[in-house]
Chains A and B, each alone.
Chain A
């Protein structure tokens, strides 16, 4: 057996152990959906970080920096700063007014059924797109790493899907949380080690390191070029580059506060204070991690080089190849298994928030008007929906295939979160006049605008030369109608516009009537859900 395979199996064994332990803990919806609200601030901080730092961060950003230098580092900045919106506006009200999902916050003062139905739809959309992106990444990664062991792309996708379903079905939120905590430790440790090795390569001289970044050499269309990788503009070129960058920043900063799988993490802690402190823990971890992408990305650019990475698996392999170049095959295996752990923890978080939203928002509150017909029904439905969500994500990932361009799926997920979820969450907390029609219109406008604009963006529309074949070809072979890859700059205002117009054009005094309740509850914690798990 190859070294990567052994390390994968060790990590899988640990996580299955956690799942077994979690499944033995006391039963009940509060434990299944919200880990009994007993997660402490550092634990939740690690779990938030583990939930958030996806394969797109570890493999994706390192790859973009390795290939396009400084512009890739701009991603890193946005992913951290985004936490401020979450911390300042959303974490505390959500903890105080939520039960299991972000729709709980909306349903307090708005008519529950239409709002929950729409919120559930947008949650499922965001989670599925995100999950498919992660699964394609996982499949490609595993197939590449375990080359020769007979594990194909489809087998890898199915394996990841089954593990994710097992964590969620048997271990619920408690198991998911601990899988994320373990993963965060591994990811931080691996990244730190890799950064130290990069610096050791440059004899711990920052001057030497940054000088090397100033002269990165590679072949572009057969020509040898030397570029300063600290120079902005290698990825985002005029005329639309700068605007695309601003649009991306907007979606990141506001979208994070609307990501369902990030939001539900704040329902697992005992109170608002712990929720706040866990954001700070997460910011410390996530921030340090993204600063270290400097070493990972530029290290790969200078030590391994674009030419070698291109012929050995492509951009996403930058960080693992860097590990191999610096410390050999065992360290390569270690970094690969961390990437694998990263993907597993993220998809588990997505799967539980999707199935919680389906069971709690859609099944119990929309279909059955807020009542479980039998005790434990909600948890049972959530377990079934985890199977369904997993199966759907696996099928799409297999259908798309390993070479699919999936970067747009992640940007779509974050854009829907920013354009549909963020406006209604914020308006529901802060605007007394806001009402049900406004929430439904806002969610619908944000959802349609972001999906519609991505469909006609350069991510999906372009004219490829005939040499580009298969899944790597753009879906629509025509010039893009919308010039930006990231539609946030237009779709977020449209989401807000929908919410405001829907509100002003309708008359619904009952939504205002209960504003006082939400206002007091979300700001003081009066009447908030208590911790339920007994030790």
Chain B
């Protein structure tokens, strides 16, 4: 049981959690998530921190005007918004697949004989 002091113990027992965690399907889900989340996280952090680093340490480069009075610094800052939206949109698209895999795992787990016995 997760928390002995809770009034209503969770109906799903440790054996079920362990079995699901070890299952091929679950490992596949985690691998699928990792292949999206880790590169996405590294990419957005790098892209974001390029801004303060360049602004702070390459101010002359960032001050180059590219359209009227608009300089690289402003365009790069503005591009961050679109970067964030694009990464979020890609994540939402990828997560449809995560949801599909999770649904199968939940269905499988709820069919489990241990679960019925414990209930």
- A408 smallest CB distance to B (angstroms): 19
- Checking B12, B33, B68 against A526 with a beta-carbon cut-off of 8 angstroms, the contacting residue is B12
| B69→A525 contact, CB < 8 A | no
- Checking B6, B18, B44, B74 against A73 with a beta-carbon cut-off of 8 angstroms, the contacting residue is B74
Mask for B48-63, Cβ within 8 A of A = 1, else 0?
Answer: 1101110111010011
| B interface residues, tally (CB under 8 Å) | 59
- Checking A83, A214, A276, A526 against B105 with a beta-carbon cut-off of 8 angstroms, the contacting residue is A526
Given A77-B77, A81-B84: A525 touches B106 (CB 8 Å cut-off) = yes
The complex places the Cα of A516 from the Cα of B27 at a distance, in Å, of: 12
By beta carbon, the residue of chain B nearest A215 is B69
Task: Supply 18 further A-B pairs (C-beta < 8 A) apart from A232-B73, A241-B56.
Answer: A70-B73, A73-B74, A77-B48, A77-B51, A81-B84, A88-B44, A211-B69, A243-B56, A245-B55, A246-B53, A273-B99, A279-B88, A290-B81, A291-B78, A370-B7, A516-B22, A517-B17, A524-B102
| A83→B30 contact, CB < 8 A | no
| A interface residues, tally (CB under 8 Å) | 67
Q: Which residues in chain B, 66-110, are within 8 Å of chain A measured between CB atoms?
A: 68-71, 73-74, 77-78, 80-81, 83-85, 87-89, 91-92, 95, 99, 102, 105-106, 109-110
The complex places the Cα of A70 from the Cα of B18 at a distance, in Å, of: 53
| A246→B41 contact, CB < 8 A | no
Segment of A280-288, A303-311, A493-501 engaged in the interface with chain B: A280-288
The complex places the Cα of A516 from the Cα of B92 at a distance, in Å, of: 25
- B60 smallest CB distance to A (angstroms): 10
B118 at the interface (CB under 8 A from A): no
B3 at the interface (CB under 8 A from A): yes
- B12 smallest CB distance to A (angstroms): 5
By beta carbon, the residue of chain B nearest A246 is B52
The complex places the Cα of A243 from the Cα of B57 at a distance, in Å, of: 9
Q: List residues of chain A with CB within 8 A of the CB of B109.
A: 520, 526
Given A74-B77, A77-B81, A516-B18: A524 touches B105 (CB 8 Å cut-off) = yes
By beta carbon, the residue of chain B nearest A107 is B3
Q: Which residues in chain A, 256-308, are within 8 Å of chain B measured between CB atoms?
A: 272-273, 276-277, 279-280, 283-284, 287, 290-291
| A291→B74 contact, CB < 8 A | no
The complex places the Cα of A524 from the Cα of B19 at a distance, in Å, of: 14
By beta carbon, the residue of chain B nearest A282 is B88
Q: List residues of chain A with CB within 8 A of the CB of B92.
A: 276-277, 280
Q: List residues of chain B with CB within 8 A of the CB of A88.
A: 37, 40-41, 44, 91
Q: List residues of chain B with CB within 8 A of the CB of A230.
A: 69-71, 73-74
Q: List residues of chain A with CB within 8 A of the CB of B6.
A: 370-371
| B63→A232 contact, CB < 8 A | yes
Mask for A430-445, Cβ within 8 A of B = 1, else 0?
Answer: 0000000000000000
| A517→B14 contact, CB < 8 A | yes
| B55→A242 contact, CB < 8 A | yes
Q: Which residues in chain A, 53-100, are within 8 Å of chain B measured between CB atoms?
A: 70, 73-74, 76-78, 80-81, 83-85, 87-89, 92
Q: Which residues in chain A, 339-381, are within 8 Å of chain B measured between CB atoms?
A: 365, 369-372
Q: List residues of chain B with CB within 8 A of the CB of A276.
A: 91-92, 95
The complex places the Cα of A92 from the Cα of B33 at a distance, in Å, of: 12
Q: Chain B: residues with CB nearer than 8 A to chain A?
A: 2-3, 5-7, 10-12, 14, 17-18, 20-22, 26, 29-30, 33, 37, 40-41, 44-45, 48-49, 51-53, 55-57, 59, 62-63, 68-71, 73-74, 77-78, 80-81, 83-85, 87-89, 91-92, 95, 99, 102, 105-106, 109-110
| A84→B33 contact, CB < 8 A | no
| A519→B56 contact, CB < 8 A | no
Given A73-B77, A77-B77: A369 touches B5 (CB 8 Å cut-off) = yes
Q: List residues of chain B with CB within 8 A of the CB of A371.
A: 5-7
Q: List residues of chain B with CB within 8 A of the CB of A287.
A: 81, 84-85
- A97 smallest CB distance to B (angstroms): 10
| B33→A280 contact, CB < 8 A | no
- B28 smallest CB distance to A (angstroms): 12
| A284→B85 contact, CB < 8 A | yes
The complex places the Cα of A214 from the Cα of B73 at a distance, in Å, of: 14
| B18→A87 contact, CB < 8 A | no
A233 at the interface (CB under 8 A from B): yes
| B68→A280 contact, CB < 8 A | no
Q: List residues of chain B with CB within 8 A of the CB of A207.
A: 68
- Checking A77, A112, A245, A523 against B102 with a beta-carbon cut-off of 8 angstroms, the contacting residue is A523
- Checking B21, B57, B78 against A520 with a beta-carbon cut-off of 8 angstroms, the contacting residue is B21
- Checking A210, A231, A283, A372 against B63 with a beta-carbon cut-off of 8 angstroms, the contacting residue is A231
A8 at the interface (CB under 8 A from B): no
The complex places the Cα of A213 from the Cα of B69 at a distance, in Å, of: 8
Chosen A-B contacts, 20 in total, with CB atoms closer than 8 Å, are A70-B77, A74-B55, A77-B80, A88-B44, A107-B3, A112-B3, A230-B71, A231-B71, A232-B73, A233-B55, A233-B59, A245-B56, A250-B49, A276-B92, A280-B89, A513-B14, A514-B17, A517-B17, A523-B102, A527-B12
